[in-house]
Structure 1
Amino acid sequence: MMLLTRRLAILALAATVLTGCATSTANLSTATVGAYRETIDLAGRLSVNYQKDGRPESISGSFNWEQRPGTIDVTLMSPLGQTVAAINVTPGSATLTQAGQEPRTAADIDSLTQQTLGWPLPVSGLRDWLQGYAVDAQGQRFRASPASNSVTTKDGWRLRFVDWQAAGGSDAAAGAAAAAPVPRLIQAERAASGDIQDLAIRIVVNPAA
């Protein structure tokens, strides 16, 4: 199970990620993301590549993201749908529970994911990124759009919002040129994080129902 947890499946989502991003953004190119929402429910897929102790590591799987005012719940799953980890974040603490293990709690979720999973899942950043927002290197609020889609964050992540969809999903995109877009494909890279080097995370958000 630990091997499954660390690996999930090498490059299992590569083809899915590449083929799942073909949504046209022609009718979204002049729009900007809508207002930030405290309550969202998302699902998607992710693939992670990094170097550790001179060895390349690759992980892939899917996730569910439930966000409410003051709390975030994330479920990480293997390509076969098995729950690998459950994460709960509140303003005062973060808890990560792996299958068959006792929950682990810490004040900082990003440090906790690196200690527990072996690589840093930037949950605190994703709270913004999944809606097309970030805090840039100067500490300013960045609001992405199809025309302005890259930023380096204050904590050193290089983000590209590569592909977009309308907030109501692909059907809404076809009929509403002015619909506020939301990210569909996000690429996040970081040169180093502790003993992790050349970290690259690719996140594909499923179309809204």
Structure 2
Amino acid sequence: MNEVNRWLCSWRRLAFVCAFALLLQACAGKHMPVPADAELDRREQQLMNIERWSFNGKLGVKAPGESASVYITWHQQQQDYVIGLQGPLGQGSAKMSGTERGAVLEQDGERYQSDDAESLVFQRFGWQLPVQQLKYWLRALPAPASADERQLERDEQGLLLSQQQAGWSLQYSQYHWVGEQALPGKIKAESAALGVRLILVINQWQLEANTLGASQ
């Protein structure tokens, strides 16, 4: 092969490599469109219809006069819930349970009661926690509200990346599958007005009979 032919072969190989790289870049830049509203509504309604769900994980809390990291379990059955909090190395524990009739907090051998969980948290800790909205937000669902009261951002699969609602800003990541449902493994929630920031890392979700650990 003479020098000209060798040069042509090298040029063709270089051109092929460049074209292939451009093709890969173009493919990587394409995003599937977010599913239609009807499909998203159906997916969210299916998740909303699951009446029993629970998770366990670790919760970091930063609030006025308080900063803590605790292990958390949350069990929900229809409108009733039980939230368990346990400090590191078994130091300190609390349990809050609630129904439509009110909420009860048990801590350090004492029992406190109120008409609703939000008032109970404020009375005991001095800061506000939107428990009624959390049962939706934790599952990456918007709490029922009119469209102008919420701002949603989704990825190309339609999974919620962030939402702003009721004065709170939430970010979602590390989704994993539980049965046919995708649920977040990490949630950041913050209210600038209240000075409260929550970071929740979920180790395991359970939807009725379906369970999935984040490591699976």
TM-score class, shorter: 0.5 to 0.7
2:113 partner letter: T
- Structure 1 gaps of 5+ residues are 1-28, 169-178
**Aligned match of 2:130 in 108, 119, 122?**
122
**Aligned match of 2:77 in 68, 72, 82?**
68
Does residue 108 (structure 1) correspond to residue 145 (structure 2)? The answer is no
Instruction: Judge conservation of contact 1:134–1:141 (CA < 8 Å) in 2.
Output: no
Identity %: 29
1:202 is displaced (CA, Å) by 0.4
Of residues 117-126 and 180-189 in structure 1, the stretch that sits farther from structure 2 once superposed is: 117-126
Q: Aligned Cα RMSD in Å?
A: 2.8
TM-score of the superposition, structure 2-length normalised? 0.64
Of residues 157-166 and 78-87 in structure 1, the stretch that sits farther from structure 2 once superposed is: 78-87
1:143 is displaced (CA, Å) by 9.5
Structure 2 counterpart of 1:81: 90
Written as runs of structure 1 = structure 2, the 5 A alignment for 1:168-183 is: 168=179, 179-183=180-184
Written as runs of structure 1 = structure 2, the 5 A alignment for 1:145-184 is: 147-153=159-165, 155-168=166-179, 179-184=180-185
1:105 partner letter: Q
Residues in 2 aligned to 1:89 and 1:143: alpha-carbon distance in whole angstroms: 31
Residues in 2 aligned to 1:97 and 1:147: alpha-carbon distance in whole angstroms: 36
Residues in 2 aligned to 1:157 and 1:131: alpha-carbon distance in whole angstroms: 15
SS at match of 1:126: helix
Which structure has more RCO (C-alpha within 8 Å, separation ≥ 6)? 1
SS at match of 2:173: strand
Does residue 92 (structure 1) correspond to residue 101 (structure 2)? The answer is yes
Structure 2 counterpart of 1:13: none
Residues in 1 aligned to 2:51 and 2:154: alpha-carbon distance in whole angstroms: 18
TM-score of the superposition, structure 1-length normalised? 0.66
Larger Rg: 2
Residues in 2 aligned to 1:106 and 1:82: alpha-carbon distance in whole angstroms: 26
> Could you say if the C-alpha distance between residues 85 and 96 of structure 1 is closer, same or farther in structure 2, counting changes exceeding 3 Å?
same
- Structure 2 gaps of 5+ residues are 1-33, 205-211
> Could you say if the C-alpha distance between residues 148 and 86 of structure 1 is closer, same or farther in structure 2, counting changes exceeding 3 Å?
closer
Does residue 48 (structure 1) correspond to residue 57 (structure 2)? The answer is no
SS at match of 2:68: strand
Structure 2 counterpart of 1:3: none
> Could you say if the C-alpha distance between residues 77 and 120 of structure 1 is closer, same or farther in structure 2, counting changes exceeding 3 Å?
farther
Structure having the higher helix fraction is 2
Written as runs of structure 1 = structure 2, the 5 A alignment for 1:137-148 is: 138-139=148-149, 147-148=159-160
Q: 1:37-75: per-residue Cα shift (whole Å, max 9, x none)?
A: 2201211110012344xxxx4211111111112310111
